[in-house]
Amino acid sequence: MNPEKLTSQVIQIAKNAGEIIRANIDNRNKLEIETKGLNDFVTHIDKACEALIVTELEKLIPGAGFIAEENTSVKIGKEYNWIVDPLDGTTNFIHGFFPCAVSIGLKQNDEIILGVVYEVGFDECFYAWKNGGAWLNGQIIETSKKTELKNALLATGFPYHEFAHIDKYMKLLSYLTQNTQGMRRLGSAATDMTYVACGRFDGFYEYDLKPYDVAAGIIIVKEAGGAICDFKGGNDYLFGKEIVCSNKSIFPEFKTVVRKFMVD
């Protein structure tokens, strides 16, 4: 397997799906919207994009399985599994708002080895493969150089249907709002993580996430020189529904603060 060539093929698939999103974002009054849960929506565009992505990815690695948000394929591979979010930021999309992103990660056994996030609004494609660096539209990227949390610009995702930890979350948000250079909420975890990778954000945290929200972003952040953990400071961030990521300089302080409010 040539990882750089494979990544290029995945980029094209992600961009093809992105074209469907771009072509329909101004037709939101015609969207077929279903409700999967409280504030959890899916449109026929999500489904169309996923069908395209799965069909094309099946051609790249015979026998690979899928963890896909809309369950277009539920086949599980013995070694390789694609992790697909066809439209990260569906609520944004429904309202005609960017960012909206296509996110595709490849897991080999227990490790993410390839990731592509195509953000449709700015036509920006972030990607990485294991030991290949992190890239944005053909240019190498790396995390920021901020050394203290007080000088950081952070991103988060607001809880939207899982409110069991809302009080802890709001106390953490209050602390960080008062002790950093600011907080941002874009509505797309995949985009948030790529912005950490290229230094636009210094860090990001969120809970109640799914593996397809973060899979591609994980390797992009790591290859850009960043660090990642769960709220306890451990490694259960792909399937553990929570994530903290940042540049390596602020990471010790950042993860300690998140743990203090969300765990301890």
Burial class (CB in 10 A: 0-12, 13-18, 19+), 71: exposed
- Cβ atoms within 10 A of the Cβ of 224, count? 25
Domain residue spans in the chain?
A: 3-141, 149-262
pLDDT at 101: 98
| C-beta of residue 85 within 8 angstroms of C-beta of residue 212 | yes
Contact 45, 93 (CB under 8 A): yes
Q: Which positions ≥6 away from 114 have C-beta within 8 Å?
A: 3, 6, 7, 10, 105, 106, 127, 128, 129, 130, 219
Tokens linked to 129: 């493969």
- How far from 171 is each of 76, 151, 245, 257, 260, CA to CA, in Å? 40, 20, 19, 11, 10
Structure tokens at 178: 């008062």
CATH of domain 3-141: 3.30.540.10
Q: CB neighbours of 174 closer than 8 A, spacing ≥ 6?
A: none
What pLDDT score was predicted for residue 26? 81
- Residue 163's pLDDT is 85
List, in order, residues 6 or more apart from 143 with CB less than 8 Å away: 196, 197, 198, 199, 202, 221, 224, 225, 226, 246, 247, 248
| Peptide bond preceding 99 in cis form (omega within 30 of 0) | yes
Residue whose C-alpha is closest to residue 202's, from 152, 136, 157: 152
CATH of domain 149-262: 3.40.190.80
The pLDDT of residue 261 is 98
What is the predicted pLDDT for the residue at 70?
A: 82
From first to last of its 264 residues, the chain has per-residue pLDDT tens of 899 999 999 999 999 999 999 998 887 777 776 776 554 556 788 899 999 999 999 999 999 999 998 877 788 999 999 999 999 999 999 999 999 999 999 999 999 999 999 999 999 999 999 999 999 999 999 999 999 999 999 999 998 777 888 999 999 999 999 999 999 999 999 999 999 999 999 999 999 999 999 999 999 999 999 999 999 999 999 999 999 999 999 999 999 999 999 999
Tell me what pLDDT residue 174 has: 98
